[in-house]
Amino acid sequence: MDRVPILSLGDVLLVSIQVDLQDESVVALQEDLAERIVDSGASGVVIDISAVEIVDSFIGRMFATIASLSKVLDAETVVVGMRPAVAITLVELGLSLQGVRTALDLERGLAALRQRRAEREIPLADESDEAVEAPTAAWD
């Protein structure tokens, strides 16, 4: 079974799917991502599917699950690089992928995550206020 590698890009996790994924690998990816989001305190996840030729309902559901999972862990997910043939097929299949943000490519995906993060930040009350970092979670 291939485990999909997860890379760190600042405070964003990047997953690039290169191979024809078997169902077990899909489940493993969900688990690995959940762990990594918590361990790294990442605020965003980018799933790059520009090399993916087939997205069926199982993989489609994985995107939705990862998006929900990340949200619960205070991170945003964006799926990038969907091929036209894949998009057309997903529409025909009836998979709406609701709740999953998408962007044309990695660059735009990262920009979208940055924008969302900026929108969600609560502005400081006063210029003289000092920003404080929250203590990181320590799971045994």
Partner 1 sequence: MPEPVDELPITTGDDVVRVRQAVRARAGAAQLSLVDQTKLITAASELARNTLVHGGSGVARVETVERQGRRGVKAVFTDHGPGIADVEKALTDGFTTGSGLGLGLGGSRRLVDEFVLETAVGKGTTVTVIKWTR
Partner 2 sequence: MITEQAEQLLELTTPVVELWEGVVAVPLIGTLDSARTQVVMEKLLQTLIDTGSEHAIIDITGVPAVDTEVAQHLLKTVVAARLMGAECTISGIRPQIAQTIVALGIEFGDIPTKATLADALLYALRNSGVEVVRRRRTGAG
Residue 68 touches partner 1, criterion: CB under 8 A:
no
CA atoms within 13 A on the CB side of 120: 12
**Cβ atoms within 10 A of the Cβ of 118, count?**
8
Listed ranges 10-18, 74-82, 93-101, 105-113: which one lies at the site for partner 1 (CB under 8 A): 93-101
C-alpha to C-alpha distance for 21 and 31, rounded to whole angstroms: 15
**Beta partners for 101?**
78
Chain contacts with partner 2 (rule: CB under 8 A): 80, 82-85, 87-88, 90-92, 97, 102-105, 108-109
- Which one-letter DSSP state was computed for residue 55? -
Among all chains, which residue has been given the structure tokens 């529409």? 91
Residue 51 touches partner 1, criterion: CB under 8 A:
no
The nearer residue to partner 2, 36 or 47, going by C-beta atoms, is: 47
Binding site for partner 1 (CB under 8 A): 20-24, 53-58, 60-61, 84-86, 88-89, 92-96
